[in-house]
Amino acid sequence: MVNNFQPNAPRSSVQVKLRLSIRQLDWMRKYGPSYLYEPAVSQNQAGVIMKTTNTLLLILLFPGATVYGSEEEICFEHTLNVVYGETEGVGLLMDVFTPLQSKKAKKGLGIICVTSGAWKSDRGMMEAHQKFGFFDVLCSQGYVVFAIRPGSISLFTADQMLRNLKTGIRYVKAQAAEYSIDPDRLGMVGASAGGHLALLAATCPEPDDPNAENPLMRFSTQVQAVGVFCPPTDFLDWNGTKYGLDLMQGQLIFRDGFTNKSDENIEIAAIAISPVYQVHAGLPPFLLIHGDADSLVPIQQSVKFMNAVRDHKGSAELIIKQGGDHSWPTVREEIVKLAEWLDTQLPGP
């Protein structure tokens, strides 16, 4: 686990209030912050409310330190490792962030956050999304956030991750009553690889089957609004070159990589996981946010997707972050804009 703790950092960088059980603190001191969430801790217990893992290190390294923060910063209850499915013997997990009633009236609306970066969705990736502010910003606006982990490239191809994500969407809809949300007014967000998978799921929705034996299949995978940051959308045209990010050495499309695969096989598979080629009429509205200096995923990827949606008479907006790379220090400001946009697309009751 990588930490960026700086002993001489200004106090404001670690100002936050936590809610920890005695058991959690004992476990953390024994095994370190990355093992805080040991299985014996109840999932229904409010976990750690934090802005960065640096605060955990502050507690560990300086037991007498005061942790600052206003009550407004505590805006959600965090439920960890909710099992939403299983595939090939692997459990599929999500975390759920529920707004505290005392801080913000719930909207009765849910947001799927596709928690993936470089097509990896481990606990570290969840912590990165929390650090950027996805969960507390959306919860402070009254949304229940379902942070779905669709699996990692070490085990799954993009197509398999897409299937896992769709299972997660169906699970959220099936559990809508438990979380007091409207299953027919779901939003979806993601960044980078998570943005790619969110766009792919939105452009390739699957209908419900009321007569399905599997109860999850009785729900569709359609969502009503999608907002993403710097998403890959066209692996065949990566600023004029073929096979963007080299399809992560082939594992993004084939479990065994490029071994014994013809260029035709690779191209067909690359098209199938490129959202720009899946665009059609009748899609939900999209908001794309991208830095114009992105050195990893060129802004051309968002422009192409926006134009494809508009060519099919759909709604797509692009916010360009001037000078922004694949991420930027003030990304929280854009997450706030995303939340405000969701408010216009998913109005509350």
Mean pLDDT of 47-65: 36
189 has a pLDDT exceeding 80: yes
253, 278: one domain:
yes
Three-state DSSP class for residue 54? helix
The predicted pLDDT at position 6 comes to 34
162, 250: one domain:
yes
The predicted pLDDT at position 52 comes to 36
Query: How many domains does one find in the chain?
Result: 2
Q: 22, 51, 71: which is the final residue of a domain?
A: 71
**Distance of alpha carbon 266 from alpha carbon 261, whole angstroms:** 7
Q: 71, 87, 121: which is the final residue of a domain?
A: 71
Domain presence at residue 244: yes
CA proximity to 308, closest of 349, 269, 279, 335: 279
31, 81: one domain:
no
163, 217: one domain:
yes
Mean pLDDT of 53-61: 37
Strand-pairing partners, residue 320, are 290
Domain presence at residue 3: no
Assess contact for 326 and 296: CB atoms under 8 A.
Answer: yes
Q: What CATH number does the domain containing 238 carry?
A: 3.40.50.1820
**Distance of alpha carbon 326 from alpha carbon 336, whole angstroms:** 18
Strands of the 110-114 sheet, one edge to the other: 76-87, 90-99, 144-148, 110-114, 186-191, 225-229, 286-291, 316-321
32, 97: one domain:
no
320 has a pLDDT exceeding 80: yes
The predicted pLDDT at position 348 comes to 64
Mean pLDDT of 246-267: 89
CA proximity to 296, closest of 253, 251, 232, 210: 232
| Share of residues in the chain with pLDDT > 90 (%) | 71
**Distance of alpha carbon 338 from alpha carbon 231, whole angstroms:** 15
Domain presence at residue 60: yes
Mean pLDDT of 298-313: 98
Assess contact for 81 and 93: CB atoms under 8 A.
Answer: yes
Output the average pLDDT for the chain.
Answer: 82
Q: Which residues constitute the domain of residue 44?
A: 11-71
41, 161: one domain:
no
**Distance of alpha carbon 93 from alpha carbon 86, whole angstroms:** 9
190, 62: one domain:
no
Task: Count the helix, strand and coil residues of the chain and give each as a percent rounded to the nearest 5.
Answer: 35, 15, 45
Would you tell me the crossing angle of helices 193-203 and 158-174 to the nearest 10 degrees?
Answer: 70
Which helix (H) or strand (E) element contains residue 178? helix 176-179
Q: 71, 90, 117: which is the final residue of a domain?
A: 71
147, 284: one domain:
yes
The mean-pLDDT minimum among 52-56, 223-227, 274-278, 279-283 falls in: 52-56
Q: Output the furthest CA–CA distance in the chain (Å, rounded).
A: 63
Q: What angle do CA 164, 166, 172 make, to 5 degrees?
A: 105
202, 302: one domain:
yes
66, 197: one domain:
no
156, 173: one domain:
yes
pLDDT band at 12 (very low <50, low <70, confident <90, very high): very low
179, 219: one domain:
yes
